[in-house]
Amino acid sequence: MLAKRVTVLRGGLSSEREVSLASGENIIEALNTAGYEVTDLIANDNLNEIVNSLTKNRPDVVFNALHGNFGEDGAIQGVLEWLNIPYTHGNICSSAIAMNKKITRILLHEAGLPIAKGKSVPITLLDSGDPFPVPYVVKPIQEGSSVGVHIIQSNDASIRQKQREKIIKEWIFGQEALIEQFIPGKELTVCVLDDKALTVTDISSGTNIFYDYNAKYQAGQSTHTVPAVIHPQAFQTALDYAQKAHKILGCDSVSRTDFRYDNHNETQDQPGDLYILEVNTQPGMTKTSLLPEQAAFCGITYPELCSHLVEKAKCRT
Enzyme catalytic residues: 16, 145, 289
In angstroms, how far is the first alpha carbon of the chain from the final one? Answer: 26
Q: Which of 161, 221, 193, 149 is nearest to 294 (CA)?
A: 193
Alpha-carbon span 211 to 284, nearest angstrom:
14
Q: Give the SS3 label for residue 19.
A: helix
Of 151, 289, 295, 138, nearest in space to 216 by CA: 289
Question: Are the C-beta atoms of residues 74 and 99 closer than 8 Å to each other?
Answer: yes
Phi, psi at 115, each rounded to 5°: -130, 160
280 marked ligand binding residue: yes
DSSP 3-state of 6: strand
135 upstream amide cis, omega within 30 of 0: yes
**176 in Cβ contact with 98 (< 8 Å):** no
* C-beta separation of 14 from 67 below 8 A: yes
For the chain, how many helices (H) and strands (E)? 10, 12
Cβ–Cβ < 8 Å for 20, 52: no
To the question of whether residue 25 is assigned a binding role by annotation, the answer is: no
Cα atoms found within 13 Å of the Cα of residue 57, Cβ hemisphere only = 15
Q: Cis (ω within 30 of 0) for the bond into 292? A: no
Please indicate if the annotation marks 37 as binding a ligand.
no
Amino acid at 142: Q
Contacts of 116 (CB under 8 A, 6+ apart): 137, 180, 181, 182, 183, 260, 275, 277
Binding-site residues, in ranges, read 258, 278, 280
Annotated binding-site residues for Mg(2+) read: 258, 278, 280
